[in-house]
Amino acid sequence: MSQPFRPTAVTFLASDRPEAEEARLRLTERYGSVPITEAEVIVALGGDGFMLETLHNNLQLRTPVYGMNRGSVGFLMNDYEEDDLLDRLIQADRTMLHPLQMDAWTESGQVHSGLAINEVSLLRQTRQSAKLRISINDKVRLEELTCDGCLVATPAGSTAYNLSAHGPIIPLDAPSLALTPISAFRPRRWRGALLSHTARVRFEVLEADKRPVSATADNFEVRRVTRVEVRERRDITLTMLFDAGRSYEERVMAEQFSS
């Protein structure tokens, strides 16, 4: 029988917002803080962007991350509360995330790879619209998409750029990915697709010389790409901690019905 999770070694990290740093100082004084390499839990103080930054920076350690909202957007964060923190960590629910692998080929034939916790996005580099051919699991599904761009989002990333592009919000525990166009011109009625997490997505850039496109895995950008392949990395697991019975689902529901 596995032992209950009882973290005693915690490190506190803060975004560059003043309120986040103030919270870090108060919590460190109250609970203590260990070096990040010794931590059983990382407490990230900021917004969703800082949560994703923290997960990226600790891909090697893969220490569970518990976020508290000291930023402007907090879909992935718990409410900020200083009392009974260790008890909340013990009782917290675990959510496992798997990043996306982006492999991007450039005009020179080089291949650049990166990991994305949020999304992999392709965007036009000039005033010329992008033209993309989209294949799923080696089968062409869209011969030509004329657009500003297109993205593949994880459940964690579905409330970020994907949501702004009118893509679907995906529950964190759903085995799905969102394929969402950005300002699609043709076919005008295509609104994207909901894919299995096992899907392999390939984008081919058409007329790449005339219509240059960049590809980005979260904050890692490759310019003038000719082909991009995206897949989920099931061999990499990141852990986020949420207060038991927290209101993440309610926030997602409210966002979907907001006017």
b/e string for 132-163 if b means 16 or more Cβ within 10 A? bbbbbeeeeebeebbbebbbbbbbbbbbbbbb
Active site members: 48
Which residue from 233, 248, 241 is spatially nearest to 170, judged by alpha carbons?
Answer: 248
